[in-house]
Structure 1
Amino acid sequence: MNHITGVLTIGVPVTDQDRAVQFYTETLGFELLMDAPLPQFGGRWIVVAPPGADVSLALVPASEDNPAGVDTGIRLATPDAEAAHKHFLAAGVDTDELLRWPDVPPMFSLRDQDGNRLYLTQA
């Protein structure tokens, strides 16, 4: 029997949950799916996701054991990497160059307010 059937949520450590919610919802266009007090966790349980996505991100409080400012390895899908790249550059997001390699979808990386690296790849 397979006890694992999918990926639901990936944690991203942040130093300021309110600022992170603002960045992920207003700048990246994610939806706020949950924002619940969780004092034993040192903050709140906050879940955001692109509209209609199957996998979400939990904006968890950073700690000594779970520091912010990491390469998350998270690949986000975009229908048009070039347009997204231009949009985030114009919005002042810390964005790297648009990469175009033969036989590989265009992609680029950007960082949130804590320096957590996310990748956007043309789907």
Structure 2
Amino acid sequence: MIGTRAVRQPGRGGDGQDVPVRPAPAAVALLRVHDQGRQFLDLSDRRASRLTREQKSRFVATCWTAQMYKHFENPMPGHVANWAELPDWQRETAADTGVKDFGAGSNGSRAPRRRRSRYRR
């Protein structure tokens, strides 16, 4: 897991040696939110994909809030705000993450398709 071991970035030591670097807590939190979404999907026998866009986004926002409290002693108020207090852009970000992580549902939402590279054969 990325949060439990150092990540290597080349050339950061100044002498050409790799130096272990810990990822930012917010990056670790984001990975954990993704993991929580996948676990939720698996534990529901993939039926969580039927949730509406708003239900998926609320789940993602709740997971994010929990991770902020886990990784930060005093998280910024905007990172742990209640759903009703979130700005539209933050709700949409959670919704896009939920649709991507949970896949297409019966409500007509679809996960974004990965584009094939035109250079791949």
Q: Tell me the TM-score normalised to structure 2 length.
A: 0.24
Q: Which has the higher helix share?
A: 2
Greater strand proportion: 1
Max radius of gyration: which structure?
2
